[in-house]
Amino acid sequence: MNMMSATECLLQMCEENFELEDYQSGVPRWCTGCGDNAILAAVQRLCRDEGLRPEKTVFVSGIGCSSRFPHYMNTYGFHGIHGRALPVAEGVKMARPDLTVFVNTGDGDCCSIGAAHWIHAIRYNMNLTVFLHDNQIYGLTKKQASPTSPIGTKSNTTPRGSYLEALNPLTVTLGVQNVSFVAQAVDWIPEVLFDIVKAAYHHKGLSFVRILQRCPEWLPKSLDPWMNDPNKVQLLNHENGLQFSAGLSKVYKNQLQHDPSNMDRAREIASSTDLVPVGILYRNPDVPCYEDLRHSDKLRTAELTSAGLNAELDKYTVWPQEMKEKVA
């Protein structure tokens, strides 16, 4: 692999100052008022602020409205198949740890068809930043209940209201061994959304960010109770987590001191039903990353391959008599 040395990289980066437009590509085709627009804005800002090199950045997604995300980033993108964004992203990261990899996935994509991959991705804990665009509905396929739809949600497949209690992506994620970063954001508080996206990006390991995302097209009012009453949003602040501006704190008075290293508290907070906790629920920078555990320190060169292959072949070789003596 032609990888640049660290110094070369640094030098080059100092020369480049990226603008927002450097990350924009195409005009988003989401509905007006769709929460995905806010997520896109936050992520583009992150890329600019962090000076991420567009060619070294990959956005991987599945299928859904939200999975259109990579098309609107002027980086590398992989818009794959429904539910499989995580394993694709894991393959990218395993092969190329030098790339910065983001994942955009919907609540159907991640919590339904891709649920097995979701659980295992948490366990692998690869250095990926995962955004769960949770609009609590299947957007692209036109309004079917999703696993995160609140019970009673009227949809095209549940015209009399959905039957089951919603799955809680936060408690599920926090229940998986090796979980290393869990946060929740809401699309309507861009300042906090950005802070969370940024913290997620800086965490080494799999950062899982559930974003409550509005879908004005199919569930226009579903998040209103939380949007209209700032007290129903609980900001999680801590010196080791996020700290909020005075302006913001004026509006969002309901704040909770929460140390993100406290798993028991994180699980408790994640379980709350009437309040929407916003902030970092859990962070543990010490969980090993799968790519570090598995990445070989050996380069796959022809010399190494030749030596390795021959050593293996030796085990199974039947030598002709005269050569046998030589080999021995």
Partner 1 sequence: MNEMTIQTSLKKAGSKGRVPAGKKPAVKLKEHIVEIISDSGEGAQKCGQSLGAIAAQMGNGIWTTEIIPAEIRPPARSVAGASGNRIRIGSGYITNGGDETDLVVAFNEQVLLGRVRAKELKPNCIILLESMWRTHTDPKIVASYIETYDRVVAAGYKVYEIPMEHECRTIVADARRGKNMYALGMLCYIYSLELKLAVDQILLAFGKKDKSVVDANIKLLEAGHKWAEANLDFCYSIPATRSTEPQVVVNGNTALALGVLASGMEICAMYPITPATSASHYLSEVFEKVGGMVHQAEDEIAACAFAIGASYASKCTITITSGPGFSLKQEAIGLAVMGEIPLVVVNVMRGGPSTGQPTKMEQGDLMTAIFGSHGDAPKVVMAPGTIEECFYSIITARRIAETFNMVVVVLTDAGLATSQQPFARPKFSDTWMAPPVDQSPIPAGAKPYDWDETTGLARRFIPGQPGGMHTLTGLAHDRDSHVAYDAEINEQTLRFRSLKLAALQKTLKAPSVFGDSKGDLLVIGWGSTKGAIEEAVETMRAEGKKVSSMHLQFLQPLPPGIKEIMQGFKKVMTIESNWSDRPEDKIIDETNRRYSSVAILLRSRYLVDIDCWSEVKGQPIKPGTIRRVMMDQLKKQK
Binding mask 57-86 for partner 1 (x = CB under 8 A): -xxx--x------xx-xxxxxxxxx--x-x
Which of 99, 51, 109 lies closest to 77 in space, CA to CA?
99
What are the residues binding ligand TPP (CB under 6 A)?
Answer: 63-66, 82, 106-109, 133, 135, 137-141, 146
Q: Of 25 and 141, which CB lies nearer to ligand TPP in the complex structure?
A: 141
Distance in Å, CB of 71 to ligand SF4, minimum: 13
Other C-beta atoms within 10 Å of 287: how many? 18
Per CB under 6 A, 34 contacts ligand SF4: yes
Binding residue (CB under 6 A) for ligand SF4 from 9, 31, 99, 263: 31
Binding residue (CB under 6 A) for ligand SF4 from 39, 42, 46, 65: 65
Per CB under 5 A, 67 contacts Mg ion: no
Distance, CA of 109 to CA of 300 (rounded, Å): 35
Per CB under 6 A, 131 contacts ligand SF4: no
Q: Of 1 and 246, which CB lies nearer to partner 1 in the complex structure?
A: 1
Which of positions 82-101 make contact with partner 1 (CB under 8 A)? 84, 86-96, 98-99
Per CB under 8 A, 321 contacts partner 1: yes
CA distances from 47 to 18, 22, 34, 70, 288 (A): 8, 9, 21, 13, 25
Distance in Å, CB of 195 to partner 1, minimum: 27
Distance, CA of 143 to CA of 208 (rounded, Å): 25
Q: Which does 195 bind (CB under 5 to 8 A by kind): ligand SF4, ligand TPP, partner 1, none?
A: none
Which of positions 95-154 make contact with Mg ion (CB under 5 A)? 106-107, 135, 139
Identify each DSSP E strand in 135-215 by its residue range. 137-138, 144-145, 181-186, 207-212
Per CB under 6 A, 139 contacts ligand SF4: yes
Q: What stretches of 175-283 show up as alpha helix (H) in DSSP?
A: 190-202, 224-228, 246-251, 263-271
Per CB under 8 A, 10 contacts partner 1: no
Distance between the two ends of the chain, CA-based, in angstroms? 38
Which of 99, 116, 19, 114 lies closest to 67 in space, CA to CA?
114
Distance, CA of 86 to CA of 78 (rounded, Å): 11
